[in-house]
Structure 1
Amino acid sequence: MSTPAAEATPVQKQAVRRVPLQFDENGDPIFHSVTSPECFKPHALGVMPPRHVIPVIFVPGIMGTNLCANGTAQKAGTTAWAPPNGAMAGLGEWRRRKKQTPTERQQQLMPDRVMVDPSKKVAVPKSLFTITDEEARRRGWGEIHFDSYGGILAALELALNDQYIDAGTAGAKEMPVWTTAKTLKDVDGKDVLSEWNPEKSDVPPLNDTEFRRLADYYYPVWACGYNWVGSNGDSADLLIKRINEAIDWYKRGKYWISTDKVIIVTHSMGGLVGRRAAQKAESQMLGVVHGVQPVGGAPVVYRRMRAGTETDGFFDIMGAIVATIIGWDAADVTCVMANSPGVLELLPTKNYPPKWLRFEHESNGSSTPVMPALPIGDPYTEIYNKRVKDVWWAMVDDALIDPAGLVAKQHGVVFDAYGETISNVRDFHDTLGLYSHPNTYAYYGGDDKHVAFSNVRWVTKNAVPAGADGVLPTLTADSFTKLGQTTLTVLSQKVTFSPAGHDKPDSDTDASSGDGTVPSPSGALISEGSGTQNVFRMKGFDHQHSYADRVVQENVLYCIAKIIQAATPVEELPACKE
């Protein structure tokens, strides 16, 4: 038996058997149940959602969207990128990538050959009664890596739409996350501001009036995957399309009343997508929450182009598995990154602190500069447009860009095509600048236990001849490896440089503290956006799994609750469909 939500009866004492909210072909809510004998006392409980809708759309980070072939070179739907869910799947992906050649990687992940794959894992927890697997897939949950993001999608859906434990019953109790928002204390009575560490302004607790406003709206949680090897500008257009889809969906049927606004929640590179979309569609967003965004880029992108994906030494088994999947050496990495505008847009921008590329001699535990650090003012011409055969410290080996011959076939000179991509990257950076939506909240990592590359250092233990600083900037290499080791002749002496590992921060405030991927100086730049209401420097999580952290979830829900206060009061909105 199906009951439209609009016809749901008031709660009865016997109504304790919660049944999930479902939706008909027009998107209107319904409840499914079955009749039972009168002796069976527990009745079905369908909790009717509010009618006024504010969709929440989650935008994942780089490599967090499942991609498949678009039919250009392979059969449409053939998996191109699907991050593994679970340890066994991870080992399987490691085995596949270990056998893959750079030619095969390039053929598989060229931006014009792939599209978002919506068909991957969706598994809504049984304790979540406001959404089904079918509805979650329709909202885009299958587009993004479920092990990374399924938890935060479910947490948002639950806390925003139920707000109470045993919602709809006489014994309903406020969820702990909302008690935290109202008291700024966790379940143990600890002050959460010491963990949230706000940087921009005071953080007032959510008052009773603000909390009651949450119940005025319905917050269906959507996801928006995107082609992360393509331009973030194109991905922003895809997000705007998803915004319009979500808004229009709730205008189809008879029940919902659209507010014509959405809330955007982003992870990592999804923040660049979200900010660019906000520049174009600011009025459609009630507000934005950004998590661990590389606002000013990340020097590790440069390092991976020269030396492959970093690990933490011989015993870092998981790091080695990840490195094999992403790209073990420069050949594995360059064939994808150098052809991917979205990845190159993660390079440090002009807003990142300059002189992050350094050249040092190490001896007896100390380091001495041997040539001026770069960039001085323009990283695009000073670093990104340099190739290894022209200068030893350059970012890209153009011989590794096009192993499959695809770029040469389409564009002719491979390095010219790469140079055009770098020019477009510069334009994207300049257009985005430090813009933020007028109602923005954000958190980033500042943790000395999760070190990130705030700079890249070329180091040598060989003696460097006096006066070398005058010739080192223009020398070419005698030889170099795909893991970065580079040998050159400096004033008749052989000197070998290699990319150094992470700096070791002394405290959480050091530049190399971060979340393991994004250094804190990059994340902190979101504070400079004119629309940013508050920024939280936090610790205790790594980059990929930051949204799985309990403290982060509490903070994000608090921020969303504050954003909701800017919504048009329901008293000023239509009470029914016209």
Structure 2
Amino acid sequence: MRHSSVQYCPEPVVLPIVFVPGIMGSRLRTRHDGQIVWDPQDNKVNAATIAFKGAKAKRDLLVNEGGLPYSPDYLEVDFGETQSSHSMHQEQIERGWGGLMQGSYFNFITWLQLIAPHPASGQLPPGCFSLQYEVWAHPYNWTDDNFNAGKTLADTVQKAIDGTHEKYQGTNTRVLKPIIITHSMGGLVSQAYTQLHRGEGEVHGVIHGAQPCDGAPDAYKRMLAGAEGMARFVLGANQAQVTATAGNMPGALQLLPNQCHKTVAGDTQWLKVTGRQGEPLLTKPEENPYSEIYANQQDWWRLIYAEYLNPETDNIRMDLSSYADALEKAEIFHAQLGPEVFHPNTRMLYADDTGHPSWDHVEWRQIYGEDDHTDRNNWPRGTFSATLGRGQIEISKSVQDPLYDVQGLHELLSIYKIQPANAPGDGAVHAGSGIHVSGPMSIPTQRGFEHQSCFDSFEARRITAEWLLDMVQEQL
């Protein structure tokens, strides 16, 4: 008599992954003539275009030509189709890899494709005969509203699904639902796709790294005192340059602390003015950072000085109107997301590292003078002035020289200066962004990481690999 038996035969499994970079993580060119505006791989191009330009030239390249208001159609992604220096395979170009900042992301997405599916233990999740990851990238116009970038992410996710099915057609390989992995502002793009554009059901889960969930005070500091690192060559090294670029960009404005922002200690008032001994003189916002700080055009600690929005033009009313439009997009976007709007299967890693100090609040400390000059409305009209540069405000009073009867001399009354960052984080996003986030499973890395190189961290990669394997197991 012949005996029959049933043998369990695990099947080959493949997981599509879509990676979404952060601000400045995508190559950009002008749509009308294809001029490369931002190519982090090509030092010659950057030197000739944006890196060493002044405020007006930077604005012309990143916002719009000839002082025109911001347009979302001015720039588009350059996917690197003609850049042979990238030495990429055609398949990688078609998957969007060529549109990324290679120095920050190429090693990581290569690791995702080749190394991450193979656990150090050698043990695949039960039900897997073999496991493969297929990685796509979603470069996007990071100057634009993240709502729009989230809408186009839907196309990349569909390409990943279709492309993976096509590659494994005719085999017995099981194709799982995709996973999205994001860096920094890419997390906002992903949230827009899954929760505002109804993409939640198309992906199994999301993994965020270094995400400024409710914005970051670092964005305020950059506007008033200039950017650091690579951003200083792109967005600007001083107030005039960053206001002319980021001050006109809906995407950059969406990195500002929103109505839900909390410091590491849980304080909702992240903007502070203090006296000579550190005594509090003013704390903001009381309720709404948009009306109290960002749209404010009266107080010296405001975000935007209108004269810098559009260098070499004199139509401040139009410039402020354009800024107001971009700011409104940011406020609407933040209101739509709120504190709870994440994909239900979300994991997040963040740095809780004092070796990479970050601004969880911005403190203007008085370093000269005694009087409280926090409320400009109380100054005698026409006799006081405030000049700001490099994170320092100087408040002066116009005086008349009785000997020579000369107007226009100034008596320096007070100096306020932005204090250094002192909160744990990654140098850009503070740890409170992970501590207070509602919804996802969020864990700190023990050794920390620098913001831009988040996924070059050994620990961040280890955690990511474990989470991916967990998400594979959840689908088997």
CA contact (8 A) 2:356 2:449 kept: yes
Q: CA deviation at 1:53?
A: 4.0
Shift of 1:68: 0.8
Task: Give the drift of 1:412.
Answer: 7.0
Q: Which residue of 2 aligns with 1:273?
A: 189
Distance 1:215 1:109, change over 3 A: farther
Give the match's secondary structure for 1:566. helix
Q: Which residue of 2 aligns with 1:234?
A: 148
Unaligned runs of 5+ in 1: 1-49, 126-131, 164-174, 180-207, 311-318, 505-511, 570-578
Q: Tell me the residue number matched to 1:83.
A: 40
Aligned to 1:523: 434
Do the aligned partners of 2:13 and 2:128 also contact (CA within 8 Å) in 1?
A: no
Deviates more, 1:512-521 or 1:323-332: 323-332
1:474 positional shift: 5.4
Deviation at 1:325, TM superposition (A): 3.9
Instruction: Please say if 1:262 is aligned against 2:178.
Output: yes
Partner of 1:55: helix, strand, or coil? strand
TM-score (norm 1): 0.69
Contact map agreement 1:51 1:255 (CA 8 A) in 2:
no
Superposed CA deviations along residues 390-411 of structure 1, whole A, max 9, x for unmatched, are: 2211110111112276x96xx9
Pairing of 1:136-155 with structure 2 (within 5 A): 136-155=92-111
Aligned pairs for 1:114-129 (under 5 A) are: 114-119=75-80
Q: Quickly say closer, same or farther: Cα 1:450–1:491, change in 2 above 3 A.
A: same
Residue 31 of structure 2 aligns with which residue? 70
Distance 1:534 1:333 in 2: 32
Pairing partner for 2:290 from 365, 368, 380:
380
Query: Following the alignment from structure 2 to structure 1, what is the Cα–Cα distance between the partners of residues 354 and 100?
Result: 29
Three-state SS of the structure 2 residue aligned to 1:414 is helix
Note if 1:499 corresponds to 2:407.
Answer: no
Say if 1:450 and 1:541, in contact at 8 Å, map to a contact too.
yes
**Identity between Structure 1 and Structure 2 (%):** 27
Q: Could you tell which deviates more after superposition, 234-243 or 100-109?
A: 100-109
Secondary structure at the aligned position of 1:413 is classed as: helix
Correspondences of 1:383-532 after superposition (within 5 Å): 383-387=293-297, 390-403=298-311, 413-434=318-339, 435-465=341-371, 468=372, 471=375, 475=379, 478-488=385-395, 494-504=412-422, 512-526=423-437, 528-529=438-439, 532=440
1:559 and 2:467 are equivalent in the alignment? yes
- Deviation at residue 549 of structure 1 after TM alignment: 1.0
The amino acid across from 1:333 in the alignment is V
Partner of residue 54 from structure 1, selected from 15, 22, 41 = 15
- CA contact 1:261–1:286 (8 Å) conserved in 2: yes
How far apart in 2 are the matches of 1:307 and 1:150? 31
What's the CA shift string for 1:105-142, capped at 9, x where partnerless?
A: 111112431101100768899xxxxxx72211111100
Find the counterpart in structure 2 of residue 245 from structure 1. 159
Q: Using a 3 Å threshold, how does the CA distance of structure 1 residues 259 and 483 change in structure 2: closer, same or farther? A: same
SS in 2 for 1:238: helix
Alignment of 1:178-217 (within 5 A): 178=121, 211-215=125-129, 217=131
Residues 485, 497 of structure 1: 8 Å contact kept: yes
Gaps of 5+ in 2: 1-10, 64-71, 263-267, 400-410
- Give the Cα separation in 1 of the matches to 2:428 and 2:155: 30
2:202 to 284, 293, 297: 284
Residue by residue over 1:297-321, the C-alpha shift from the partner in whole angstroms, topping out at 9 and shown as x without a partner, is 11111122122125xxxxxxxx4x7
Equivalent residues of 2:393, 2:417 under 8 A apart: no
Q: CA RMSD in A?
A: 3.0
Q: Supply the distance in 2 between the matched residues of 1:155 and 1:335 (Cα, whole angstroms).
A: 37
Question: Relative to 1, partners in 2 of residues 1:255 and 1:474: Cα closer, same or farther, differing over 3 Å?
Answer: farther
Alignment match of 1:297 (pick from 215, 222, 244): 215
Residue 525 of structure 1, CA deviation: 3.3
Partner of 2:4: none
Q: Partner letter of residue 206 of structure 2?
A: V
**Count of residues paired in the alignment:** 434
Query: For each residue in 1:338-371, what CA deviation from the matched residue of structure 2 results, as whole angstroms up to 9, or x when unmatched?
Result: 1110100000011112211111123xxx4222x2
How far residue 99 of structure 1 moved from its aligned partner, in angstroms, is 4.0
